[in-house]
Amino acid sequence: MPRLNVDTREEVKAIALELFTTKGFERTSLREIAERLGITKAALYYHFPSKQDIARALLSPLIEDFDTLMKDVPGLLTADPRPLALLHRPGVRLDR
């Protein structure tokens, strides 16, 4: 696999995030992302083979952070349950 240009990958992710947020994932095309970047669709495919790969690159850090948080939850529960109140609706008691 060829070495990827990190700067272009980050630019693709930034533009894709903007378009996914404003237009939605389904209504955003790879052609539109490429046009916004001023590159060809083929050049975009060099960095990301599919729109799903772009979404995966955007979501991976969030999923990893969430996994890390969930691994820490048992320790949080035994130490102090109050931080977990942020994960619950107002009015839900943690000490049931």
Q: Say if residue 47 is exposed, middle or buried (CB neighbours under 10 Å; 0-12, 13-18, 19+).
A: buried
Domain holding 38: CATH number? 1.10.10.60
The answer as to whether 12 is a domain residue is: yes
CA-CA distance, 21 to 58, in Å (whole number)? Answer: 12
Residue 35 Cα distances to 1, 6, 40, 67, 80, angstroms: 25, 19, 7, 35, 51
**Does position 15 have pLDDT exceeding 50, yes or no?**
yes
pLDDT digits (tens, 9 = 90+) for 46-58: 999 999 999 999 9
The more confidently predicted of residues 9 and 78 is 9
What confidence tier does 96 reach under pLDDT thresholds 50, 70, 90?
very low
For residue 29, give its domain range. Answer: 6-87
How many domains in the chain? 1
Domain annotation covers residue 96: no
75 located within any domain: yes
Tokens encoding 90 = 């107002």
The answer to whether 28 and 51 are in contact (CB under 8 A) is yes
Q: What is the largest CA-CA distance in the chain?
A: 58
Has residue 40 been placed in a domain? Answer: yes
